[in-house]
Structure 1
């Protein structure tokens, strides 16, 4: 078992000990990140709307950088430590591997669904449909990974250990998707297991956010931008126009292929493999009572 990421608490300071309690840090960190989101939302309203324009991707990257900057400010000012989660050494390689995994995983899911008769291509979209899909994937990948893995999982893990943090963060991730269009209880359950576990496990393997952000963004982009499948219940246009037919266990229904049994099995298998790697590297954190 490895030691958790600890804040730099000044000795003999009761105030900082209280501030650095994991649940207190979680609340403060959420306020910082929400401030970044609100700033991005305000700036987005000041910019003329862009549709099917490559500048849309640059705007999304800038807004995502605001959210990441808010997280960095929280870590530096409140936790008073280096932001190891966004370490620059080897970041491009980790991000690239994450992007590759995301594309391969969802392509595998669609390939299996197609082999079973649930997906076929009936047309093609213009290249311009990629711009909004890339923009949405960048912002959701960065924002959700910072909140769910950078804040929630990391801080709960420091307190209650890896296994409890894994269960709670996965459950929260699934629950947050229940408010999406066409969501079902099974869809939330599938998201919790296939994405919540897998992305937390990937963070445990690398102890950084780059690979998880890449996988999350590429998974979403492959769904909507390439294969034209609904992304967590939200309809998107893609390069391919599909006809998806068959039982919901195969296609995922209106929520999208994420709610299919195929996606659940593929991603859970990959998530378990990542957990095994994390375990062999000694990257599991014990709960605070075991460390003492």
Structure 2
């Protein structure tokens, strides 16, 4: 019941905010305003419902150092996508034709802020954290990563390969990021930085959601394993490999910091026999 209340509260807040943002997408300034408001409201609702149902401080959203953590995550996400798009460009799959309108960037900032916060609060703040309490870090990473990939099948131009790619490069990566940092600020920044770089700077399709009008007027071409096809660069093999590398880095950090949670043994389960020779 506790988990259901938490999930419903976050989903309801995100759904209302998303509808509001979608309704004003033709106005970049209203999109910025409502997107930012949705992000802030989602964080406030999450903090309120966790304090109320779990009777604890919401340490994963501690305010001290939040700005620096968001900035660090955002720079990591932007850098990761930039490396990917440069590799794709060098292989002939990305082409710049000019500069796009600045107003498009403004609206995309608000839209991507709302999406990043809502998805991170739901998938890492709630699902990953709560599943990890029972099943441990590894199984929680697997379960929530696959779920994160599957929800992207509902996107336009989605396909099984695109969902699989998102599972590996984002579902696993963002869970590993949370495990290593034990804060939502860094994965929120990472998620936002990735999406904003893709849509707001390089003007490519994000998870099959159609072309974006960002800072650059650009197009993609070539085989799906290079360009990602209609799903966008997130279905590119280059992105999957980059996501895997960063996932391993974050899991290594989590291990060194002692933040890998073991699977909980049932209370009535006997302890394993230990033979000393």
Asked whether the two chains share a fold, i.e. TM above 0.5, the reply is yes
- Structure 2 residue 266 is the aligned partner of structure 1 residue 284: no
- 1:231 counterpart SS class: coil
Preserved contact between residue 32 and residue 71 of structure 1 (Cα < 8 Å): yes
Counterpart of 1:32 in structure 2 is 9
Instruction: State the 1:52 CA deviation.
Output: 4.4
Instruction: State the 1:228 CA deviation.
Output: 0.8
Match of 1:178 among 143, 153, 156: 153
Instruction: Trace 1:97-246 onto structure 2 (pairs within 5 A).
Output: 97-235=72-210, 236-246=212-222
Number of residues paired by the alignment? 267
- 1:225 counterpart SS class: helix
Aligned equivalents of 2:18 and 2:213: distance in 1? 23
Preserved contact between residue 198 and residue 204 of structure 2 (Cα < 8 Å): yes
- 2:265 counterpart SS class: helix
Preserved contact between residue 182 and residue 233 of structure 1 (Cα < 8 Å): yes
Counterpart of 2:244 in structure 1 is 268
- In structure 2, relative to structure 1, the CA distance for the partners of 1:250 and 1:39 (3 Å cut) is closer
Aligned equivalents of 1:254 and 1:50: distance in 2? 21
Q: Where has structure 1 moved over 6 Å in runs of 4 or more?
A: none
Counterpart of 1:3 in structure 2 is none
- 2:218 counterpart SS class: strand
- Structure 2 residue 57 is the aligned partner of structure 1 residue 82: yes
Deviations 1:188-231 (A, max 9, x none): 11100100111011111110100100010111111111111001
Preserved contact between residue 52 and residue 129 of structure 1 (Cα < 8 Å): no
Counterpart of 1:62 in structure 2 is 37
Structure 2: give runs of 5+ residues left out of the alignment.
270-277
Q: CA RMSD in A?
A: 1.9
Aligned equivalents of 2:18 and 2:83: distance in 1? 35
Counterpart of 2:69 in structure 1 is 94
Preserved contact between residue 166 and residue 234 of structure 2 (Cα < 8 Å): yes
Aligned equivalents of 2:14 and 2:145: distance in 1? 22
- 2:47 counterpart SS class: helix
Aligned equivalents of 1:99 and 1:185: distance in 2? 28
Structure 1: give runs of 5+ residues left out of the alignment.
1-23
Preserved contact between residue 245 and residue 251 of structure 1 (Cα < 8 Å): yes
Aligned equivalents of 2:23 and 2:187: distance in 1? 31
Counterpart of 2:274 in structure 1 is none
Instruction: State the 1:77 CA deviation.
Output: 0.6
Aligned equivalents of 1:50 and 1:245: distance in 2? 27
Counterpart of 2:223 in structure 1 is 247
Aligned equivalents of 2:7 and 2:23: distance in 1? 29
Instruction: State the 1:25 CA deviation.
Output: 3.0
Preserved contact between residue 101 and residue 213 of structure 2 (Cα < 8 Å): no
Aligned equivalents of 1:215 and 1:51: distance in 2? 26
Deviates more, 1:120-129 or 1:134-143: 120-129
Q: Give the TM-score, by structure 1 length.
A: 0.87
Aligned equivalents of 1:282 and 1:48: distance in 2? 45
